[in-house]
Structure formats: C-alpha cells, structure tokens
Amino acid sequence: MNSLSSFFTRFKLKPQVMPGFGLSLGFTLFYLGLIVLIPLSGIFIKSSSLSWNEIWLTVTHPRVIHSYKISFGLSFLAALINGFFGLMIAWVLVRYSFPGKRLLDALVDLPFALPTAVAGITLCSLYAPNGWIGYYLSLLGIKVSYTPLGILLALIFIGTPFVVRTVQPVIEDFDQEVEEASMSLGAGRLQTFCRVLMPPLIPPLLTGMALAFARAVGEYGSVIFIAGNMPMKSEITPLMIVIQLEQYEYAKATAIAGVMMIISFLMLLCINLLQAWSSRYQRN
C-alpha cells in the first residue's frame, strides 16, 4: 500500500476510486504493443534486410518521390478544404432547422459506411468524360477522372466526416447567451464569430483536419479507380507499395511504408503541438 502511494506521489498522479491501476495499465500496454507497436516495428525489421544504399535508392526513386508529392500534397490540401467546408456543414446542422436535416446529417457518415472501392468506382463513373457530371465539366475543359484533381476529390470525400463529427459537438455546447452578450456590446456578426466563437473551435478543427489528413495519406481503395495510375502523374504512394508487393519486393515495400509512416508521424506531431499551443493560449 505504501509502495502504491509512493508511486502516485512520485509521478504526481491522483489515486482513482476504482482499483486495479497496475493490471489495467498492463493490459493497455500489452494490447497497444500487440496491435500497434509490433506491426509498426515489423516495418523497420523487414526493411533492415536491405543495405542503406538499397533503401536510399528505393525511397528516392523518381516515381516514388513524385508519389510522395501527390499523396502528402493532396492529402494536406484535402484536409484544408475539409476544414473550411466541414466547419460550415457542422454549423448548418447544429444552428439551423430545415426539411431533410436528419437525412443530411446521416449522409455525412456515408463515407464511413461505404466501401472505399465502391466510392472510387462511383466517383470515377460520375466524373469520367462521359459521366453525369464529368460530361459537363469536359465541355468547360475540366478533366477530373484520371488526374490529380480526381484524387483530391476522392480524398475530400473520405475526409469530410472526420471534421464534421469532431467540430459538431463543440458547436452544440456553445452558449448562445455569450453571442447575444457580444452583439449587445456592439460587436457585429463577423466580429462575434471570429473573436468569440472561433477560438474554442480551433483545437477540435485542427484535430478533425489531422484525422482527415491521416486517413487521406493511407487511402487506397477510393483513389485507385479515379487516379488513373499514370506514372509520374497520378500515382499515389500506397500504389507504389502495392507494386513492390506484386513484384515480391517485400523489403522495398516496407522501406517505402516506413518513409510514409515517419513523414505522417512528424506532420501529425506538428499539428498536435499546434493544437496544444492553441488550447494553452486560449486558457491564458
């Protein structure tokens, strides 16, 4: 008992009402190690069978470098677009009542339930030059399917629910009396939104964008059909990994996957640090 008390004192932890901290922590570490840490470490263990020169030549091949630019660049752009429109959708769903609101609210979760391959085929059919939407866009000289623009469209589609569902509960908890007080003191609608409502929305908005970005970077099923997969034009990094696997180059595939994981981790770390700074700034 004294040892347990000294443990809480040493690490400045508050004893909980429910016992079993050691057992629950052990199960937590075991589960995370089994599901997360061991598979991730397997990536580096498998790629270690290559020499440093072979790893470097694999991850810096011109096609692979271009796929990095496509995957990470378009994923980041899709996250920014989803941040803007996802906030708008969440605001409309919370603040306004209109016919079909519940249907629209349910449609937001459709990318979660829809198989990614079905989403890719549907988007490709709609935005192909002979599709319902692509035909009219082609008259304007805009080509969507089999271009980076089609990839961006697919990434926006699969990432929208992350932003909406992250921001929506925060908007629901807003006290409208605060807005009324701000406007009674002479602030306009835009000023009230920017100075009163927007600061609490920044942390969840960044979280939703980070989740959308993380999902988009590794997305394969919905992108592969609409991308066209043309070398040095519309190839994504997951496709590079699949190509290596089909050629039985498992070590090279894990090397490319390791680079993706490191870059994704660093970008998510930066976003989380920015979110923590934003929360601390608002509290001060």
Q: Between vectors from CA 161 to CA 36 and to CA 266, what angle results, nearest 5°?
A: 45
Give the model's pLDDT for residue 61.
92
Nearest CA among 115, 124, 66, 144 for reference residue 221: 115
Give the model's pLDDT for residue 210.
87
- Name all contacts of 122-127 with Cβ < 8 Å and 24+ positions apart: 123/150, 123/153, 123/154, 123/157, 123/222, 123/225, 123/226, 124/150, 124/225, 124/226, 127/153, 127/226
- Cα–Cα dist 195/192, whole Å: 5
**pLDDT tens-digit series, residues 42-53:** 888 888 888 899
pTM summary value: 0.83
Could you tell me the fold of the domain covering 51-283?
MetI-like fold (1.10.3720)
**pLDDT tens-digit series, residues 208-263:** 898 899 889 988 888 998 888 888 888 999 999 999 988 889 999 999 998 888 88
Residue 37 CB partners (closer than 8 Å, separation 6+):
none
pLDDT-derived band at 13 (thresholds 50, 70, 90) equals low
Residue 14 pLDDT greater than 60, yes or no: no
- Cα–Cα dist 261/242, whole Å: 16
Residue 10 pLDDT greater than 80, yes or no: no
Q: Average pLDDT for residues 88-112, to the nearest whole number? A: 89
User: Comparing 176 with 91, which gets the higher pLDDT?
Assistant: 91
**pLDDT tens-digit series, residues 155-211:** 999 999 999 999 999 888 887 777 767 777 777 777 777 777 788 888 888 888 988
Give the model's pLDDT for residue 5.
55
Give the model's pLDDT for residue 98.
86
Q: Where are the domains of the chain?
A: 51-283
Q: What percent of the chain has pLDDT over 90?
A: 27
Give the model's pLDDT for residue 64.
93
